[in-house]
A and B are shown apart, each in its own frame.
Chain A
Amino acid sequence: MSRPVSITLQNSQDGIAIADAIMADNPEAERKSFPAMTKIDCPGRLVIRGESVSELLGREWDPQEIHMSVISLSGTVDEDDGSFTLFWR
């Protein structure tokens, strides 16, 4: 079994949209709710697509805006213009 990567997001408007986008784009992701935050675990690899978040928010969302919403993460980070990926090598 591949090892889980994980991201924890604030329960803010943006954070919830990011979490919803992750759940839509990563079928194996598992979502857990806590007061003020949401933790998502996913085996091996998790992708946040800028387009998916933009669609949910109804505005252009740049993956670098993740800095406004992320609380914690586990995994290796790869960031480019269109997406933000967490993975184990």
Chain B
Amino acid sequence: MAARKLSLKQKYGHFTRGLDWEPSYQKKEDIFPFATFEGIKIHDWDAWEDPFKLTMDAYWKFQAEKERKLYAVIDSMAQNNGQLGITDARYLNAVKIFLQGVTPLEYQAHRHFAHLARHLPGAGLRVAAQMQSIDELRHCQTQIHTISHYNKYFDGLHDFTHMHDRLWYLSVPKSFFDDAMSAGPFEFLTAISFSFEYVLTNLLFVPFMSGAAYNGDMATVTFGFSAQSDESRHMTLGLEAVRFLLEQDEANVPIVQRWLDKWFWRGYRLLGLVGMMMDYMLPKKVMSWAEAWETYFEEAGGALFADLARYGIREPKYAEVAKAEKGHMTHQVWGIFYNFAHAAAVHTWDIDDQHMAWLRDKYPETFEKHYQPRYLAWREQAEQGNRFYSQGLPQLCQVCQIPMAFTEVGDPTTISFRVSEFEGDRYHTCSDGCKDIFDHEPEKFKQAWLPVNQIFQGNCGGATLPEVLDWYHINQGADNLDYVGSPEEAQWNKWMEGRRPTMPIAAE
């Protein structure tokens, strides 16, 4: 009689439990030294439930197929001048922020999930972390291939790893991951797999990638959706990991709640960049930040936190603040980039009348009153040949590292500014959310590498702006400043001119 075929659940059980073993001549705590120091108590690792039951054979099969599809699109872009199919060269600046900011994070995620794949005591979780580590490396590679294509035709993408370590706005995503990677394994899982991937990457990848498709950018939508199909697995890992921690011991609940509070707020601040990309940088728009926030946080996140309520978990602290700020946040972030576009590896531009009409429609309570007058004033200055660039350096938040441009909830004319004292020094944060995070771990956050402070201390190439920009490896006059007048604009106009049909000329 032929052997009976194993069911998916049996096959997966053998893979994730059957291949593990109990150590006999070494102590378990010596093999897994990071498993206990956060105070998390696990009584039964086998109680971990694997939501996706991918065995290695299926994993390689599906991932290989994804790769084939993705590179078919990237090859087709390269062979058909796909970059000419995007709606407008300004759009590419959103892609630059994404590729400069996210690509190094994928690599960091790869590194740290490999670390978890070695150091988590449960075999099911170790296998999930191993697959995720491989996924993240793949995402990094596919993004580098996309960079490689766009770098031939657009500015600002020539040195993303160098910029990741130095450029002021890239310190925002960098510090987020540095914070998570220097935490323990369970905080990392809560930070990255749960808060970032489950609660927040929907906002990052889904509407933005749909927007990329809408703007004709098939390279980005393809790597984006290819990555996001893995994210669905990662998100599920995060949710299950949090549930597992909560179910194992009641003592884990307050620890996990504190992490949820912290990483919700850090993720929300980080997503300010993405919100700006959606509201300001996509010529053809899919949905506003506020709409995306309502769909993916208030609705989807609401269902999720209601599900976790049975363990004694509540919505993250300051979720209400994020809801209350949804009409302001992206306009304030765009303001920062507009003011500092001379020091960035992206361009910004005047918000034209049609775009303003869209913003008035999407933000009826806030846009016309608070932000439109500012843009009109900037436009007037630009028309007189005085395009405004801030000549000072901004105060940065000690935690999220974003320039202090956010305002008090309910008072959009007052900058939100908090101060903490630690060991006789004063530390500035942008919000109650960031102040709480600082006050809980001042020894950690006092070490933050803040770009502005480092410039003032003389650690960034020199005392003048051109010296600092050289140190960033920004090609001055090409990567930075306004879109209008940039080589990128001139190149784009030339391309578009070349694509117009020429009138037939009659022979004389």
Contacts and interface: CB of A to CB of B under 8 A. Distances in A.
B54 A64 contact: yes
Nearest to A62: B58
Given A35-B211, A64-B62, A68-B62, A74 B225 contact: no
Given A67-B233, A72-B232, A4 B299 contact: yes
Interface in A2-17: 3-6, 8, 10
Contact of B213 (A36, A68, A75, A88): A36
B466 interface: no
B51 interface: yes
Given A5-B303, A64-B58, A80-B7, A73 B206 contact: no
Contacts of B163: none
B303 A3 contact: yes
Contacts of A10: 225, 229
Interface in A52-76: 64-65, 67-76
B271 to A, nearest CB: 15
B51 A74 contact: no
A64 to B, nearest CB: 6
Contacts of A24: none
B235 interface: yes
B229 A67 contact: yes
B366 interface: no
A54 B206 CA distance: 27
A74 B303 contact: yes
Interface in B68-112: 69
Given A5-B303, A36-B225, A81 B236 contact: no
A1 B341 CA distance: 48
Nearest to B66: A68
Contact of B303 (A65, A68, A88): A88
Given A70-B232, A74-B300, A3 B8 contact: no
Nearest to A87: B307
B236 A72 contact: no
A77 B214 contact: no
Given A34-B286, A36-B214, A88-B303, A67 B62 contact: yes
Given A81-B8, A89-B307, A72 B286 contact: no
A75 B304 CA distance: 7
A25 interface: no
Contacts of A4: 299-300, 303
Interface of B: 7-9, 51-54, 58, 62, 65-66, 69, 201-202, 205-207, 209-211, 213-214, 221, 225, 228-233, 235-236, 239-240, 286-287, 299-300, 302-304, 306-307
- A-B pairs, top 3 by smallest CB distance, nearest first, are A36-B213, A3-B303, A35-B214
25 contacts: A3-B302, A5-B303, A10-B229, A35-B210, A35-B214, A35-B286, A36-B213, A36-B221, A37-B206, A67-B66, A67-B232, A68-B229, A70-B229, A71-B209, A71-B228, A71-B232, A72-B231, A74-B202, A74-B300, A76-B51, A76-B239, A79-B51, A79-B52, A80-B9, A88-B307
Interface of A: 3-6, 8, 10, 34-37, 64-65, 67-81, 88-89
Given A4-B299, A67-B54, A68-B66, 7 more contacts: A5-B303, A10-B225, A34-B286, A37-B210, A37-B225, A64-B53, A68-B62
